[in-house]
A and B are shown apart, each in its own frame.
Chain A
Amino acid sequence: MGTRPLLLVDGVVKRFGGVMALNGASCAVTEGSVTGLIGPNGSGKSTLFACIAGVERPDEGRITFQGERLDKRTPSEICELGLARTFQVTRLFREMTVLENLVAVAHGRSDAAAVRRAQELLEMVEIRGLEHAPAGTLSYGQRKLVEIARALMFAPKLLLLDEPFAGINPRLQNRILGYLKALRAGGVTLFLIDHEMRILLDVCETVLAIDAGEVIASGPPEEIRRNPRVLAAYF
């Protein structure tokens, strides 16, 4: 658990037509930490994630992960570097079974090893019985769990979670919270976006607040909660 930044975002600017989604956003995520990202709607949270994951290319600025530049790379290259993500609206391969969803992204593993690992992960999120169900038949909550398991298939160093707690009941939220804590204990760095304040404050060591495309505050949760700029942005 060092203080070395695993992920460094430096002055990222991203425009969509006339809209300035990110306006010189900068932040750092330390290795082994759990960092949260909050911000009102339209503040640029998802765009920032998209830029980090390589889905969008920043117009200016740089993003580095373990010293490697991310902003010029394709998503699959970024994946290979050790970064995985889940999506706000789950993006499972609906016609494929849960097991196949996981094995499809098990790069570098043989089928037998991939199946084994997949079963372990499904066991961890306690949905082992669903492994042969087509992903499209799962409930929303179950799909969120499969997404997490799938992201873990490539043993990432950094896991980006886009609103992992959105739209699910509190019991499932707590369950996922438990898994995330276990992951952190296992050395995976977590970077998550969410609106659920109480959860973020519970699990995150550092919280970043973004508004109008800029990171306006960064620090431990209690500090952020009292930060006047953050309060102004939200209310």
Chain B
Amino acid sequence: MTAWILGGALVAAAAVLPLVTASYLVSFTIQLFLFVVLAYSWNVISGYTGYTSFGHTSFFGIGAYGATLMMLHWKLPWLLACAGGGVLAVAVALPLGVVMLRLRGSFFAIGMFGLARVFEAVAFGWADLTRGGTGLYLPPAYDLRPLYYALGVLALGMVLLTWRLDNSRFGLQLLAIREDEDGAEALGIKTTRLKVRAFVLSAVGPGVSGGIYAVYLSFIDPPTAFSPATELTTIAMVLLGGMGTVLGPLVGAAVLSVLYEGLWARFPQVYLGAGGVIIAAVVLLMPRGVMAVAMRRGWLPHGRGTLRRLAARPAASAEA
């Protein structure tokens, strides 16, 4: 119950923020929302399903370029174009997922990394379409509020979707795949179908938010669209918060966003390395993230809530 009240309060606070504060805080929160979306999306394929992707910026970049080109060439309104970017990302994710998910563990990670570099190279090389290294320019976004709310809604949506995933059979089976894919397959779990579904789902967030980010910057070029730094930050956030959990990405995104903001202001020279230090620290000290520490200490219960609640019900009428 308290969780819901807290959550509601946060949402309400976020909703009124742009109306009461300066544009700096709005900008900061936009970036925070962006990373929340990216973190939750990455969490689906890497946290839950256990397929750690080092190249999810592929979908971010595809969404960004897709949306931008739709706005420039088809004169679509930005919101529609961003949705279009998301559709494009998903359309690409489906065949890619079928192919790439045949790789396991580190090879999937490296394969996805390579894929992101391929897309980056295409963005560079296909100058007729993308203007290569020069990048594409969009009309400047003077009013950040629509962007803020769009990303905010997307972020909230991702949190709620993850909560639903966590309490669903689908989510449970993804975790099974992460734990022991062959064992899961031997027990009748349709691993390929579920993995691909998770992969495609994980492309929606980056796809749509890529477009929004391009609108926010009024500009997109290959290094920005497919930035390994974005990938690194996303991974660090989920790792810190806890892979395969509902609140982990949120905690990680919030903590790191604040940390990075502070670093950027005071020590911009170590900005990059700080992400590395955080990942290293988490890997060495708490590989399962903050959420797992909380579970182990007993502050949070193990396992998913819905099943717990169902199990607690007295065995009244047989529903089988």
Contact = CB atoms under 8 A, between A and B. Distances in A.
A–B contact (CB under 8 angstroms): yes
A75 B187 CA distance: 7
Nearest to A133: B302
A5 to B, nearest CB: 23
Contacts of B176: 93, 96, 104-105
B72 interface: no
Nearest to A55: B186
B285 to A, nearest CB: 18
A87 to B, nearest CB: 7
- Size band of the interface chain A makes with B: 35 or more
Which of B303, B315, B318 has the most A CB atoms < 10 Å from its CB?
B303
B303 A75 contact: no
A99 B308 CA distance: 9
Interface stretch (B105-113, B145-153, B177-185): B177-185
A99 B301 CA distance: 14
A96 B180 contact: no
A104 B175 contact: yes
A77 to B, nearest CB: 8
Contact of A100 (B182, B188, B304): B304
B190 interface: yes
A85 B183 CA distance: 10
A117 B308 contact: no
A178 B191 CA distance: 34
Contact of B186 (A79, A97, A133): A79
Which of A75, A80, A109 has the most B CB atoms < 10 Å from its CB?
A75
Interface in B253-302: 301-302
B86 to A, nearest CB: 30
B173 A104 contact: yes
- Size band of the interface chain B makes with A: 20 to 34
B230 to A, nearest CB: 28
B311 A99 contact: yes
Contact of B311 (A75, A107, A131, A134): A131
**Chain A binding site: helix, strand, loop or mixed by DSSP?**
mixed
A115 interface: yes
B304 to A, nearest CB: 7
A96 B303 contact: yes
A154 B179 contact: no
B288 to A, nearest CB: 9
Interface in A150-166: 150-151, 154
A19 interface: no
A116 interface: yes
Nearest to A118: B311
Nearest to A115: B310
B6 interface: no
A103 B172 contact: yes
A68 interface: no
A76 interface: yes
Given A103-B172, A104-B173, A93 B179 contact: yes
Contacts of B319: 110, 112-113, 116
B306 interface: yes
Contacts of A113: 319-320
A205 interface: no
B96 interface: no
Which of A80, A106, A107, A154 has the most B CB atoms < 10 Å from its CB?
A107
Contact of B302 (A74, A76, A134, A151): A134
Nearest to B175: A96
25 contacts: A55-B182, A75-B185, A76-B187, A76-B191, A80-B188, A85-B186, A91-B180, A91-B186, A93-B184, A95-B175, A95-B178, A99-B303, A99-B311, A103-B172, A103-B307, A104-B169, A111-B310, A113-B320, A115-B307, A115-B310, A116-B319, A119-B311, A132-B301, A133-B302, A134-B302
Given A76-B190, A100-B303, 7 more contacts: A53-B186, A76-B191, A79-B188, A87-B183, A113-B320, A115-B311, A116-B318
